[in-house]
Structure 1
Amino acid sequence: MTIEKYSFFKAYNFTKLEMPFGNFYLCDKFCISELNEGIHFEWENIVEVFDKIQNFYGEGGKFAYISNRINHYSIDPSNWTKIEQSNFYPFASAIVIYNNSSYMNASIEKKFTNISIKRCMSLKQAIDWVENLKEFN
């Protein structure tokens, strides 16, 4: 389910970033992505959205990234290596999975980076995990 339908959505002061390939919800500690059905999330898309995210968090801004995988789409798992090598990346990431194929994809992606990636069974679990990270306390 999209974050906008959760009862806790209004408790956060999100800035919604609408892109042709999906929506991104930015708040002070984390960013939640909801990519569109059937897209291939390419490196060029990542660069485009991360430029906008960097504008929001500022140079050297600290944030976690939550991928709310409500739709089926593809991504090259080696993009995690490129993200990690860039000068701006999340210090932690959570992937919300809703089926076995999402779990398998998240497990593969996890092998391509040193960024902490948590696989979660709900969006609430992902947000709770991020909010309790020692980097924010």
Structure 2
Amino acid sequence: MPEFINEEELVKRYNLEIGKVFFFENYLIIEVAEGICFDHNKAIELSKLTNVHFEGRPFGYISHRINSYSLEPTDYMKIKEVFPNLKAFAAVVYNRFQATSVKIENMFFQDGITTFEDLETARSWIKEQLI
């Protein structure tokens, strides 16, 4: 179990082809697997789980970018149709390349992705957004 996971807060953990997904009461943390291309189809797969866990309630999404993977920035233009109840989106980045990637992603996602350098700060921010 990753050290950032508090067993009492964790609702469900999935080990999927796209990576590890940790569901909490009103947010999720995803660690996309090394080398994956996270595109619209993979987001649709993930949305099936968000629909089950959040049941239409607003939720937060934390992309914990510990692995190197690619994504389709233009797919962010469709994010509201895939995740209609997404209220807050955070990315935890660990280098300048990742930070630059998020800046590019923000050109396509009108609600914005907030960048953090550590997971705990991102979790605190997500929880504040969901109050």
23-32 or 83-92: bigger deviation: 83-92
Pair 1:98 & 2:98 matched: no
Percent identity, aligned pairs only, is: 25
1:22 counterpart residue number: 19
Name the structure 2 match of 1:122.
118
TM-score, structure 2 as length reference? 0.91
* 1:83 equivalent in alignment to 2:79: yes
d(CA) in 2 for partners of 1:43, 1:4 = 27
Instruction: Indicate the residue corresponding to 2:42 in structure 1.
Output: 45
Per-residue deviation, 1:116: 3.5
Normalised by the size of structure 1, how large is the TM-score? Answer: 0.87
| CA-to-aligned-CA distance 1:74-117 (integer Å, 9 cap, x gap) | 00011111112346341110000001110000111111112232
Among 25, 28, 40, the residue aligned to 1:31: 28
How big is the shift at 1:49? 1.1
Asked whether the 8 Å contact 1:93–1:116 carries over to 2, the reply is yes
- Runs of 4 or more off by more than 4 Å in structure 1? none
Cα gap change, 1:121 to 1:28, in 2 (>3 Å): same
Aligned length: 131
**AA matched with 1:75:** L
Give 1:120 shift: 0.3
Q: Distance in 2 between matches of 1:89 and 1:52?
A: 13
Displacement after TM superposition at 1:126 (Å): 0.3
Structure 1 vs Structure 2 CA RMSD? 1.7
Moved more, 33-42 or 8-17: 8-17
Q: Structure 2 unaligned runs (5+)?
A: none
Unaligned runs of 5+ in 1: none
